[in-house]
Amino acid sequence: MRKYGKGIWQMFLLCAGIVALLALHPVDTQAASMKISRLTVSAPAKGSTYASGTVKYTTSSYKNLKLRVRVLNSKGKYVYQKTLSGLKNSGSKTITWNGKASAGNTAKAAKNKIVADGTYRLEVCLSGKKGKKTSSVTRKSTFKIARTVKQTVTLETVSYTDKAPAGVSRLTGDAELDYMAEMMLKEAGVEESMSAEEKVRTIYYWVSNAFSHVHDSYANYPKHYDLETLTDQIQAYKNTTDILVRNNEAAYVKQTYCSGIKLAPAAYTDTLCKNFQNTAKLWFNARVGQCNRTADAFMILCNHAGVEAGVCAGYYLNSNGTRSGHYWNWVRLGEEIYYYDVDVQLQNNARGFKYPYYERWYKADRTMALKHHLFTHGLQN
């Protein structure tokens, strides 16, 4: 036993030394609870002067969270820098860069001038404090700028409008919502060559069969689109719609949202619109809801297909003399306004009444609509 004593003593001293070193240089276990789980960047389309990135991150119990955003050139010098503060402990951020150099950049590019074509790198650094210790994580993604227009061209601002040219797509302006609407129209079989009435009939039939009238939480139903895995496709679609809007071939319209959020242009605000869009993604993706949700869905899809539509609110007059609070739709076909009640249709689908469409629910004129609906909002002149 004695001849192994020295070796055991040396092993003890070695372990003690390691413990002492760890005491002097503690392992940063806190950083493990801070993570940038996704960073995607969309390269600018030809002729445009911007790039967009989406950052998704998760943290645990950090304070003073900040997200530093940089665009680095091929030499590792940044041409653009911005810091976002006041972040929650988990979430996602979309960053849009207009292609211009920011003040004090280390690449010494001229302030507010479009940078040269080339390879760039989007770098995001998330930092925060837990106790007295500051932790940070960094992630990078490379993209290229290759424009075919002069670099002096500036990007026109894309904004909402109250009106849009007849026949153009009226989009919500929310990339995820508009992308889902585009996919739904394809699934429904709506084609550009169809007349406005054919589009509306196709959408009416599809919504009244694809959606479900439910009172449960949207979380109880499966989603039809995994939006987190479709970020590249969604951003590419947004880039396309931005170009269409600038060319007056589409419009981001202040739509007449129901559910008490907006029923007239005067009630519109950017905040209320954004709140609607965030909520709409949940039930629109699950394809469930009550009459207010199916009316919204029918409106969004008709507008997306280039047929102007809106929401009506009031009461449905039941055959037994009672009335129920209700939402339905109006649609403009040429110079005429007609009324559609897709929610009553889909409820009767469940009872076996699918075809033909009843005139009180499908393409009712003003006289017929007033026989079965009491309007508080949305009756068109």
CA 120/CA 75 separation, integer angstroms: 9
Quickly list H helices, 218-374: 231-246, 270-286, 291-304, 342-349, 366-372
Structure tokens at 308: 């102007």
CA 237/CA 217 separation, integer angstroms: 29
Q: How many CB atoms are closer than 10 A to CB 350? A: 10
Strands, sheet with 160-161, edge to edge from the N-terminal-most edge strand: 160-161, 250-253, 169-171
CA 9/CA 128 separation, integer angstroms: 43
Set out the domains of the chain in order of their start, with CATH numbers. 30-145 (2.60.40.2550), 160-377 (3.10.620)
SS3 of residue 346 by DSSP: helix
Contact between 366 and 381 (Cβ < 8 Å): no
Query: Residue 248 burial (CB < 10 Å; 0-12/13-18/19+)?
Result: exposed
Quickly list H helices, the chain: 2-24, 175-188, 196-210, 231-246, 270-286, 291-304, 342-349, 366-372
Structure tokens at 297: 């869905």
Q: What is the pLDDT along the chain (381 residues), one digit of tens a residue?
A: 344 445 443 443 333 333 333 333 333 333 336 777 667 666 555 444 456 666 777 777 788 888 898 999 989 999 999 898 888 777 777 777 777 889 999 999 888 887 888 888 888 888 888 888 888 888 888 877 765 433 332 333 456 666 677 888 999 888 899 999 999 999 999 998 899 999 999 999 999 889 988 887 777 888 999 988 988 888 888 888 888 887 788 888 866 554 444 444 444 455 555 666 667 788 888 998 888 889 989 999 999 999 999 888 899 998 888 999 999 999 999 989 999 999 988 888 766 555 555 656 889 999 999 998 999 888 887
Structure tokens at 50: 């911007």
Element (DSSP H or E) covering residue 118: strand 118-130
